[in-house]
Structure 1
Amino acid sequence: MLTTGIALAEQYDYLSEKFDRAFRFLRTTDLEALPLGNLPIDGDRIYANVQAYTTLPDEEAPFESHRNYFDLQYVVSGQEAFGYLPVADCTPSTEYDAARDLIFYREPEEAGRILLRAGEFAIVPPEDAHAPRRRTAAGPCAVKKIVVKIRL
């Protein structure tokens, strides 16, 4: 997430051209009209994954991380609880799937959690695990989200 330790403060340039392109896409596209699925922005370097779902109980929305891409998770409509924790503090529950650039983790005893509402986003680097799609205290919610994948 864009919350991290000082040791990582200069590791990534969140103002670089690739992040600028991702934000430009979010600002200038009719996000409500996008069909579900993947949409290239700059080949496999930057692409959007358009999703729609109903938020889930925590036990059905596990922590995950990626090794080759940042996630820029932008909520178009609805709201969700979004967990986060450094990967170093996580215990894998699956093997890393290189084809999907994805690994899942066991539920930690304690983790950070934020509320993402329509118009808000979180940026997650490979050093952080995240748990999207989680219900808030208000209960299940229909969500439309754009996950912009930005290659390292």
Structure 2
Amino acid sequence: MIIDTLDNAAKYYGVHPLFQKAFEYISQQNLKSLEVSKFDISEGLKGAIAEKEGMTAEESATKFECHNNNIDIQLVITGPETFGWRPRSTCSSPKGEYNAEKDVLFFNDAPDMHFTLNDNQFAIFFPEDVHAPMIADGVVKKMIIKVKA
């Protein structure tokens, strides 16, 4: 997992071949004016804008998730937003089977830690990162970019 601000995004271009394109796409947007939507950016990059009421940590933990084939770049546009996190290697209680169509596997395990992102801060969740998003008191607007792992 990586946690940082958009000001430092270029430091991560070398981590994955599509990160530069993803962060350049983000930098070209007027983030606050984006409407809720799903969109294709380029081969291997898909995006979504979400704007919804946050939930409690307990509610979010019911959707404690990871992905096998995608890396999530989750950027807070207006927050704050808190996330739960735990390494996949320490999770022992899957909730159902892996859903290949949606590329998601849920766990009954609890997060080891929580952290909060504010506007223009992002987290990058790799397939080994189990995460519980959308913990907030109020509405969160965010951009999620799915990067083909």
Counterpart AA for 1:23: F
Alignment of structure 1 residues 13-28 onto 2, 5 Å: 14-28=14-28
1:128-143 equivalences in 2 (<5 Å):
128-135=129-136, 140-143=137-140
Deviation at 1:133, TM superposition (A): 0.5
Quote the Cα distance in structure 1 between the aligned partners of 2:14 and 2:54.
28
Give the C-alpha shift of residue 15 in structure 1. 3.9
Q: Residues 1-152 of structure 1 correspond to what in structure 2 (within 5 A)? A: 1-2=1-2, 14-43=14-43, 45-61=44-60, 62-90=63-91, 91-108=93-110, 111-135=112-136, 140-152=137-149
Instruction: State the distance in 2 between where 1:14 and 1:145 align.
Output: 24
Compute the displacement of 1:134 (Å): 1.0
Return closer, same or farther for 1:77/1:46 CA change in 2, 3 Å cut-off: same
- 1:13: how far off? 7.2
In structure 2, what is the Cα distance between the partners aligned to 1:119 and 1:105? 28
How far is the alpha carbon of 1:94 from its aligned partner?
A: 2.3
Q: TM-score, normalised by structure 2?
A: 0.85
List runs of 5+ in structure 1 lacking aligned partners.
4-11
User: What is the rounded CA distance, in whole Å, between the counterparts of 1:32 and 1:67 in structure 2?
Assistant: 30
Unaligned runs of at least 5 residues, structure 2? 4-11
Q: Please state whether the residue corresponding to 1:59 is helix, strand or coil.
A: helix
Q: How many residues align?
A: 138
Q: 1:71 to 1:99 in 2, by over 3 A?
A: same
Counterpart CA distance in 1 for 2:21 and 2:112 is 31
Higher fraction of strand: 2
**Which protein has the bigger helix share?**
2
Deviates further, 49-58 or 33-42 = 33-42
Normalised by the length of structure 1, the TM-score is: 0.83
Q: Report the secondary structure of 1:50's partner residue.
A: strand
- For the residue of structure 2 that corresponds to 1:93, the secondary structure is strand
Change (3 A) 1:23 1:89: same
> Displacement, 1:99?
0.4
